[in-house]
Amino acid sequence: MRIEDVYVWDINAKWLGISPFQLMENAGSGVARTIEERFGKGLRIAVFSGTGNNGGDGFVTARHLSFDNEVTLFLVGDEVKIRSEEARHNWEILKRLDFVEIKVLKDSAYIRNLDLSGYDVIVDALLGAGTKGEPREPIRSAIEKINEYAGRVKIVSIDLPSGYPSQIRVKADFAVTFQWDKEEYEGFERVVVKIGYPRELSHLVGPGDARFALRKRGQHKGQNGKLLVIGGSENYYGAPYLTSKAASYLVDLVYLAMPSLPAGKITDPDLILRPFDGENFSIEHLNGLLELAEKVDAVVIGSGMGLEDETKELVREFVRRCERPMVIDADGLKAVAGSLDILRGKTFVLTPHAGEFKVLFGVKPPESLLERAELVRAKSEEIGGVVLLKGPYDVISDGKTWKYNRTGNRGMTTGGTGDVLAGLVGALLALGNEPLRSASVGAFLNGLAGDLTAEELGENFTAIEIIKRIPKAVKWVEEF
């Protein structure tokens, strides 16, 4: 697991109702328990805390250790800079305790003359994993002071040695890190303690995933994603329009390629329309579509394209030759069924419902979530890409891990919601997200926008109403 996953899981845990206060309490108690298991009780312990959440973990650790040990808490910095509500809450508790000595070290002058030789254990809770570059004063002086006692006093860091990975770091005997080891950590001993994350967080898609996926990359037009949507036929124009319109709320530019007959019905100025001669797509349009694809970051293909033989031939050949990340949806899925070998080496997301899944893979998805997830994972591994199986719970896998999404409601059985989903997934690919995250967050946002729609309108609405609430869903994620 990565450091980024910590932030994703914390946000998703809050969404499940597990408060940051609970997580901080469990983290601090886990550190205290580890120290007493390693070194016993009746100790003199110095806890050095910064003003961030790592320091908050230190406040809780000090409180738990104070029952059987003599504890001094050194706050490095000004207490007015204690940022989060949960860290401040635990600081205020400490200040009410008579048997924890508190010393505030506002600047490095307070630190240089400290004598720590009487302590058995020093706890480092100065900086967390989000810190970049070398530590600044007064944290730097605190790190240097702690390191004067390396080898003479046991030094325990919370999560990681403060200052890591810079050269100015605490020389800890070990670090107590939380829930899992981090793949970025190396060169120091770690003890992993659980802090109350439930099993669901290994697989559930939530606002934490969405917050990271929606990050903007640049400040100029086109730097935040360009998407090509290929769809439409003589009988259908609404589906590719819904796909394109949904995507337009997330990326800078959306190109909509359609046969000229249905394209004549589209008048939306937010989309860049690219009509191709005729009533339906055919192989003669291949080179023009491939040229368009070279100008964008990702492609969605299949919405409303129909099932004419010449159209299915175009889809297969386009997929075979396209080098951009792709979402293959709706009629596009039926076109590639039986020719899944053309997906080898491609970056793609398939978005079938249960019926389309059976057409693709010859097997009906089971009802059980775990059985369904294992089937999707196995088929994703077989084809070397991501499968998003739509349903009451969307199940997504890249063949290695699997995710599930539980946003959405019964009103979303209305036609067009799958087209909206394809547009969101395509937009997230165009923003530079890897396919598993794009598919997972696309499903989450689609369901969230649907839930926001249901709150306002009840469970009778159309897909265009969901699209109108995509900005509201994004705002909800950013503010959560």
Render pLDDT for 224-254 as a digit per residue (tens, 0 to 9). Answer: 999 999 999 999 999 999 999 999 999 999 9
What is the per-residue pLDDT for 218?
Answer: 77
Sheet holding 190-193, edge to edge: 100-105, 70-76, 44-49, 121-125, 154-158, 174-178, 190-193
In 3D space, the residue among 414, 426, 422 whose CA is nearest the CA of residue 394 turns out to be 422
pLDDT for residue 373: 98
Q: How far apart are CA 101 and CA 457, in angstroms?
A: 57
Cβ partners under 8 Å of residue 64, min gap 6: 28, 29, 31, 32, 33
What backbone phi and psi angles, to 5 degrees, belong to 47?
Answer: -110, 120
pLDDT at position 222 is 76
Residues 430 and 205: beta-carbon distance below 8 Å: no
DSSP for 425-452? HHHHHHTT--HHHHHHHHHHHHHHHHHH
Which residues is 70 bridged to in the sheet? 44
Please tell me what DSSP assigns to residue 150: B
**pLDDT for residue 130:** 84
Q: Are 311 and 305 in contact (CB under 8 A)?
A: yes
Residue type for 25, please?
E
pLDDT of the residue at 387: 98
* Helix axis angle, 238-248 to 417-430, nearest 10°: 40
Structure tokens at 442: 């696309």
Long-range contacts of range 5-9, CB-CB < 8 Å, 24 or more positions apart?
5/180, 6/129, 6/178, 6/182, 7/130, 7/208, 7/212, 8/206, 8/208, 8/209, 8/211, 8/212, 9/179, 9/197, 9/201, 9/208
In 3D, which of 283, 378, 370 has the Cα closest to residue 360?
378
Q: Which residues of the chain have pLDDT under 50?
A: none
CA distances 265 to 233, 237, 259, 260, 268, Å, are: 12, 8, 11, 9, 9
Say what the pLDDT of residue 132 is.
87
Dihedral (Cα; 80, 81, 86, 91), 10-degree rounding = -50
Say if residues 161 and 128 touch (Cβ distance below 8 Å): no
Q: Which residues contact 135 (CB under 8 A, 6 or more apart)?
A: 126, 127, 143, 162, 163, 166, 168
Closest CA to 9 of 178, 223, 174, 157: 178
pLDDT digits (tens, 9 = 90+) for 416-425: 999 999 999 9
Distance separating alpha carbons of residues 391 and 394, to the nearest angstrom: 5
Residues 135-144, buried b or exposed e (16+ Cβ, 10 A)?
beebbbbbbb
Q: Which of 273, 270, 300, 257 is nearest to 426 (CA)?
A: 300
Question: Which is it for strands 394-397 and 386-389: parallel, antiparallel or unpaired?
Answer: antiparallel
Total count of residues recorded for the chain: 480
Q: Rounded to the nearest 10 degrees, what angle do helices 53-65 and 85-95 cross at?
A: 30
The helix or strand, by DSSP H or E, that contains position 102, with its residue range, turns out to be strand 100-105
CB 15 within 8 A of CB 7: no
